[in-house]
Amino acid sequence: MNVAVCVKQIPDPAGELALDPSTHTLVREGKLILDDSDSYGVEMALQLVESAGGGEVTLVSMAPNNETSGLRTALAMGAAKAVLISDEALAGSDALGTAKVLAAAVSRIQPDLVLAATESTDGYTGTTPVQLAELLGWPAVTFAKKVEVSTESVTVRRQTEAGYDEVVSPLPAVVTVTAGVVEPRYPSFKGIMAARSKPVEELTVADLGLEASAVGAAGARQQVISVQAAEERKAGEIVTDEGDAHQKIVAYLEQIKVL
Amino acid sequence: MDRIWVLAEQRDGEPSTVALELLAAARSFAGAVAAITWGSGAAEAAATLGEHGATKVYDAGELGDSLPGPRVAAAIAALVAAEGAPDAVLVGQTYDGRDVASRLSARLDRPVLTNVVGLSSEDGALVSEHAIFGGTRVLKARFTGEGPGIFLIRAKSFAAEAAGGGAPEVVSIELPDTGATDGAKVKGRHEEERSGPQLDEAAVVVSGGRGLGSAESYALVEELASLLHGAPGASRAIVDAGWVPYSHQVGQTGKTVKPTVYIACGISGATQHMVGMKGAKNIIAINKDESAPIFTIADLGVVGDVHTVLPKLIEAIKAHQ
């Protein structure tokens, strides 16, 4: 069982985020980290490979400036190797452009299964994995709460509005994993040391045989018109609980006729 | 704008609320609004879709055990080929809606604008609004290439309103066989028991965060929500920690809620959470940390421990009732 995991390296969400004043795209110049959302896919992939009794986990990532710090985190967790696509032509790519790049990379790797997060933390479009599946001509099962694999199929509990569906898909397939379904392991010291020498294959748009016009800002075919301050909500009354704050809440709920 | 198509999910003849919200938006921009629906009950759903402004309803028929994504997207692509591209396809950002929009995007080679929370018309084209950086800023965007523009729109962005429209023209369309992409099959459907309203429909939402300290304490949130006939929600932190399922998550990567009152218990107010709940009419926050960002948007902020305040609040409400 060979599993590829799409991982995104993003600016630290706890830090200050900024938009480029001319392109209105997120500034990604500083150090990038592994998106927390992707740690669940990496963990799930490692567990599936372990339960299958063989195979390996390959990371696939698209990032500016040949950034690998986030990849090293996932390699330290136990992934065997990574494919990194980095190219100036990719700046400003949208979700579909990203899916085209990932599809070309996945076609080279030929895994049995591709895992991804339901959405990234920074862009959170949540469309790339299924666009990737459509470009590959594969089935996809999104919003997985539980994943099991056999040699020929993957069985998924898929989140629905009402509860969940039990979905079985032949392989290869794309599965997106919701957060919290497995507990991502912390990289061990040994893992961190080993990650330094694990192979990261660096590719460009040309290496993948893609036209530069299909990806990047040119391929995105969308434009930010403006960015403005939103209407602000004002803070109301703030009280410190001295044993009677619950009465304040009850009075407030009465006032707005909820009670 | 001439034509807008709305993806209308329905269940047992009842269209989803977001579909009706999108019809209300669509009819304010275009003369001809069509809804695309499928599954058992589509014929009954068509009447409601008509009342809400759809002049035409495309009924793709029974999906069987297929997931909607591949075949519904193929049906829409076939419709584009047969009837020409509409100005826009509006899709509610639901579990299935996202699959359909993503597949359609790749099929037609057209981008998708996602997380749309508002629409306007400028120079005859649709402009989308997006809440970014925790809802502190509004970004406006538009498509530059050939249509149709595909918009994934968050629930609660528009108010659903019946337009008094008559019975729509119902047109049967085919769900094409898409081969390998349709390989995933639903083997069983499980409904989780829910005593109260749906999270994004509830008038009262009580949410818990990391300040609860443990998964067990989430029971306090559930009890308060149930007493107020509301729905329990959660911050991303406790979903990531595995305390509650993803379906409870409120925020950027979860659901948008706009209840009459939102009660945040032990939630600090990360930007990613606030963007999903700052549209609530009233916000009450309980948090130990007086510098928690949630207090900057709360109408009533209580600096205190949820473990002391919530049990007393629950008792007081029980006594009140």
Decide which of 3.30.930.10, 3.40.50.720, 3.40.50.620, 3.30.9.10 is the CATH code for B3-182. 3.40.50.620
What local confidence, expressed as pLDDT, does residue A250 receive? 97
Does residue B77 have a pLDDT over 90? Answer: yes
Q: Which of B106, B122, B320 sits opposite A99 (nearest CB)?
A: B106
Beta bridge mates, B32: B3
Residue type, B171: V
The beta strand positions in A20-112, using DSSP E, are: 32-34, 57-62, 81-85
Mean per-residue pLDDT of chain B: 95
**Are A241 and B135 an interchain contact pair (Cβ–Cβ within 8 Å)?**
no
**Are B239 and A179 an interchain contact pair (Cβ–Cβ within 8 Å)?**
yes
Q: How far is residue A234 CA from its own chain's centroid?
A: 34
Per-residue pLDDT tens for B184-206? 999 999 988 777 899 989 999 99
**Are A236 and B243 an interchain contact pair (Cβ–Cβ within 8 Å)?**
no
Instruction: Name the CATH superfamily housing domain A3-220.
Output: HUPs (3.40.50.620)
Query: Which secondary structure element, helix H or strand E, spans residue A146, and what is its range?
Result: strand A140-149
Q: What is the mean pLDDT of each run of 10 residues along chain A (259 residues)?
A: 97 85 82 94 98 96 95 98 97 96 98 97 94 98 96 96 94 96 95 97 97 92 93 92 97 96
What local confidence, expressed as pLDDT, does residue A29 receive? 78
Interface test with A, best of B210, B246, B275 (most A CBs within 10 A): B246
> A19 versus B113: which is more confidently predicted?
B113
What local confidence, expressed as pLDDT, does residue A13 receive? 85
What local confidence, expressed as pLDDT, does residue B197 receive? 93
A29 within 8 A of A67, measured Cβ to Cβ:
no
Q: Which of B103, B236, B317 sits opposite A134 (nearest CB)?
A: B103
What local confidence, expressed as pLDDT, does residue A237 receive? 96
Beta bridge mates, B113: B151
> B164 versus B280: which is more confidently predicted?
B280
Residue in A closest to B253 by C-alpha:
A124
What local confidence, expressed as pLDDT, does residue B301 receive? 98
* Residue given tokens 């305390």 in the structure block: B243
Q: How confident is the model at residue B134 (pLDDT cuts 50, 70, 90)?
A: confident
DSSP output for B149-218: EEEEE-TTSS--------PPEEEE------GGGG--EEEEEEEPP-SS--TTT-SEEEEE-GGG-SGGGH
Interface test with B, best of A233, A237, A244, A255 (most B CBs within 10 A): A233
Decide which of 1.10.3720.10, 3.40.50.1220, 3.40.1030.10, 3.30.420.10 is the CATH code for B204-320. 3.40.50.1220
DSSP output for B233-244: EE-HHHHHTTSS
Does residue B162 have a pLDDT over 90? Answer: yes
What local confidence, expressed as pLDDT, does residue A232 receive? 86
| A125 Cα to chain B: minimum distance (Å) | 6
| A197 Cα to chain B: minimum distance (Å) | 30
DSSP output for B250-285: BSTTSB----SEEEEES----HHHHHHHTTSSEEEE
Domain layout of chain A by residue ranges? 3-220
Residue type, A164: Y
Q: Phi and psi of A47, rounded to 5°?
A: -65, -40
**Are A235 and B297 an interchain contact pair (Cβ–Cβ within 8 Å)?**
yes
| A78 Cα to chain B: minimum distance (Å) | 20
Beta bridge mates, B125: B122
**Rounded distance, CA A10 to CA A8, Å?**
6
B109 within 8 A of B147, measured Cβ to Cβ:
no
Domain layout of chain B by residue ranges? 3-182, 204-320
Residue in A closest to B314 by C-alpha:
A246
In chain A, what residues touch B269 (CB-CB under 8 Å)? none
Exposed / middle / buried, residue A214 (Cβ in 10 Å: 0-12, 13-18, 19+) = middle
